[in-house]
Amino acid sequence: MSRARKKEMTTILTSLHKLEEIFEKYNIFNFTLEKFVMRVIASYALVNTFFIGLTPDGIPVTSKESVIPTNFLSTAGYIFLVFVLTTGAFAITKTALADKLFLFLSVSAFNITAMFQVGNNDYLFIFLMIFQAICCYFCFNKLDKELNIPTFAVKIGYIATAVSFTVFLGLILAFRYLTFMTPNFDFGIFVQMFYYMKETGLPLTTCERDTLLSHFAVHASPIYYLILPFYCIFQSPITINVSQAFILALGFIPLYLLCKHKNLSNGITLLFAVIYTFYPAVMAGTFYDIHENVFLTPFLLFLLYFIEKDKTVGIFVMMVLTLAIKEDAAVYIIFIAIYMILAKKMYLKGGIMLALSTVYFLVIVHVLNTYGDGAMTSRYVDYEINGTGLDEVIKVCITSPLYVFAQCATLEKLLFIMKMLLPLGFLPMLSKKASNFVLFAPFMIINLISNYQYQHSLDFQYNFGVVAIFLYLSICNISELNIDKQRMMTLFSVVACISLFMSVNWHRTIYFKYYKDYGDTYRAVEQSLEEHIPEDAEIAINTFLLPHACERKVCYQLTPTNPEFEKRVEFLVFDIRFQEFIDQYNAYLLEGSYEHYYSDENIAILRYIYYEAQ
């Protein structure tokens, strides 16, 4: 660098220091150089948040088209205007934390709005969260003040959050059904199962395996009987799907109790309610409709709370209820029992729990394989190298760990790990106790080592158990940090959860728009199904119509791949809103064994000429 250039830089730095001294000496707007920089960055982030939010529909905010309309001078002018307005406001209020809060809120708003507009972009989410983490560290790493929130306010906050959560999620799930977005696999299966449970007490279906079969031959899930009384009172498929919102809302109770047990402050406790609400895996698992797995989140949280409190009755009641959810729920109980032994030194209770859950798992898998449709070990087919069956999978996992790790180390699974852990600030992993990592085993077994793609996706039901474990570990681990780090980590988690929620979950509100725009069509389809298919008729019907017509003894899914079984039934019902089903309708009509029975602009019904009632 030349001597003239060095002199110029020295002059600039000297001027900045003198400017800062003048601000401090005369206390002009309570200004410092640090506050100046924070205010500029915050103003920049806030202005660009509005610009991102105002991007016209159809133009991706990360595309070149979104850059072209941007005017440098107008952007700079808006930033300067926000800077001046906030400077004046902060000079009046003279709040010590104003600039840090302004910076945190502006950066958070930018990140949340960006993820909302961009949609599902895993790489951008990771990138933005790096800046969010830096912002949280700078703003909250060292604060002298702690916000005092009364306990009654926290309880009201939890109740209000739980109610809002239930209403919001319940409406989405209801409108998903009303807009004919629920297919036979798997919602239609459960609608018919609940119909049979109400009529006969047995969980029978015909639309699951094209024959009359107990659903418990596929999955051992007696926990569904807890929903049955509500279905009997409000007999509607909507009741079945919306029940998920109420079940998950129960999780707020043990979440609050765990926070209080770990002596977290009222502010941190309240933030965990927000985290639970927006943690993407919580709601996302419901959008493929009702599954028994949804019970795992509240039941495991209650179980872990009772373990913390050493409540014997509560522990074993929740163990039994959890085992009743599904055959693989025993995996969670087995490793929680090992955790009890290693981390909590609860040798007797943990040992009993381990023995009971292991025996139950082996017995129920044997029963399914012998008398049912078989345990779904095919999802671990990559481990059945020298044979088949669960024992072969276990052998490979024990003898060839590197092979197992290689199956987990795919890009798809690594991104899934990030979407599960990053929203929680990796809190589940921040433990000094090696025994805590035993609880990661179900995550490995259920979600990672299987190459069944749905088990490592946010959009399906396989994450509910891990959600409970990760939230529990987050509460345990954060309780060991000082208050500054607790505040920093929870605020980061809140923003990260909301950002990813807006990216992967918010688009589900499109069901509201669908019903507003096409509600007349949906109601017309519903009316046609009700008026033109006799209640006692045996039918085969296309997948998205099936849940609306399967509360009957015999109902099959009408598919092109199984052309013979339809002749068992009297009516074939086609969803002629779609060309593929129009073609299917015409093919059956030309075949000659079917006659036209009814049609409108939405559905068409054929009757089998040679049908004879059984």
Angle at 355 between CA 350 and CA 360, to 5 degrees: 125
Residue-wise pLDDT for 284-324, tens only, equals 999 999 999 999 999 999 999 999 999 999 999 999 999 99
Residue 178 burial by Cβ neighbours in a 10 Å radius (0-12, 13-18, 19+): buried
Radius of gyration of the chain (CA): 29
Domain boundary among 118, 146, 176: 118
Strand 555-557: give its sheet, edge to edge.
555-557, 539-541, 571-575, 603-608, 594-599
22 has pLDDT over 70: no
Instruction: Output the pLDDT for position 93.
Output: 72
Considering the domain boundaries, does residue 312 fall inside one? no
Average pLDDT of the chain, as a whole number? 90
448 secondary structure, DSSP code:
I
596 in any annotated domain: yes
Mean pLDDT on 374-398: 78
- Length of the chain as a residue count: 614
pLDDT of 384 higher than 80: no
Does residue 92 belong to any structural domain of this protein?
A: yes
Whether 471 shows a pLDDT value over 80: the answer reads: yes
Is 51 inside a domain boundary?
Answer: yes
* pLDDT at residue 196, rounded to an integer: 98
Of the candidate ranges 167-171, 209-213, 380-384, the one whose mean pLDDT is the lowest:
380-384
Domain assignment present for 537: yes
Q: 73-82, 202-211, 242-251, 421-430 — which is least confidently predicted?
A: 73-82
Single out the residue of 294, 317, 284 nearest to residue 224, CA to CA.
Answer: 294
In-domain check, residue 535: yes
Q: Which two tokens stand for residue 32?
A: 């410092």
Select the more confidently predicted residue: 528 or 64: 528
* List of residues 6+ apart from 490 with CB closer than 8 A: 268, 271, 272, 275, 478
Token representation of residue 431: 């433990």
DSSP code of residue 557 = E
In this structure, the dihedral spanned by the alpha carbons of residues 254, 255, 258 and 264, taken in order and rounded to 10 degrees, is: -150
- The answer, yes or no, to whether residue 144 has pLDDT greater than 70, is no
In this predicted structure, the answer to whether residue 95 has a pLDDT above a threshold of 80 is no
Conformation bin of residue 555: beta by default, left when phi > 0, alpha when psi is -120 to 50: beta
Residue at a domain's end among 118, 148, 177: 118
* Secondary structure of 74-123 in HEC code, one letter for each residue: HHHHHHHHHHHHHHHHHHHHCCCCHHHHHHHHHHHHHHHHHHHHHCCCHH
Highest mean pLDDT among 492-496, 535-539, 569-573: 492-496
Q: Identify the CA nearest to 243 among candidates 316, 321, 298.
A: 298
* 355 — pLDDT class (breaks 50, 70, 90): very high
In this prediction, residue 123 carries a pLDDT of 93
- What is the Cα–Cα distance from 579 to 252, expressed in whole angstroms? 45
Return the number of other C-beta atoms located less than 10 Å from residue 26's C-beta: 9
Q: Is residue 389 part of a domain?
A: no
- Last residue within a domain, chosen from 118, 153, 185: 118
What domain count does the chain have? 2
Q: Is the peptide bond before 186 cis (omega within 30 degrees of 0)?
A: yes
Q: Which helix (H) or strand (E) holds 435?
A: none
- The larger pLDDT score, comparing residue 3 to residue 37, is at 37
Contact 215, 204 (CB under 8 A): yes
Contacts of 190 (CB under 8 A, 6+ apart): 215, 224, 240, 289, 290
Give the pLDDT confidence score for residue 24 in this predicted structure. Answer: 57
More reliable by pLDDT, 43 or 9: 43
Q: Please give the Cα distance from 500 to 506 (Å, whole number).
A: 9
423-437: per-residue pLDDT in tens?
Answer: 999 999 999 899 999
Share of the chain above pLDDT 70, in %: 91
Band of pLDDT at residue 592, cut at 50, 70 and 90 = confident
Q: Cα–Cα–Cα angle for 389, 391, 394, nearest 5°?
A: 115
Asked whether 397 and 383 are in contact (CB, 8 A), the reply is yes
Going 207 to 208 to 212 to 215, the CA torsion angle's sign is negative
Cα 151 to Cα 260, 273, 608, distances in angstroms: 10, 14, 67
Residue 386, SS3 per DSSP: coil
Nearest to 504 by CA among 280, 287, 275: 280
3-class SS of residue 549? coil
Q: Please, are residues 161 and 252 in contact by the beta-carbon 8 Å criterion? A: yes
Confidence (pTM): 0.91
User: Is the four-CA dihedral 422, 458, 257, 342 of positive or negative sign?
Assistant: negative
pLDDT of residue 88: 84
Q: What is the pLDDT of residue 393?
A: 81
Question: Is the pLDDT reported for residue 484 higher than 60?
Answer: yes
Token pair, residue 426, equals 């990796």
State CA 35 to chain mean position distance.
38
539 within a domain of the structure (yes/no): yes
Question: pLDDT band for position 513 (50/70/90)?
Answer: very high
Residue 102 backbone dihedrals phi, psi, to 5 degrees:
-60, -45
Q: How far apart are CA 553 and CA 564, in angstroms?
A: 19
What confidence score (pLDDT) does residue 567 get? 67
Tell me what pLDDT residue 19 has: 61
Give me the mean pLDDT over the 145-171 stretch. Answer: 92
Q: How confident is the model at residue 107 (pLDDT cuts 50, 70, 90)?
A: very high
Burial of 141 (0-12, 13-18, 19+ CB in 10 A): exposed
Contact 499, 424 (CB under 8 A): no
| Domain housing 105 | 18-118
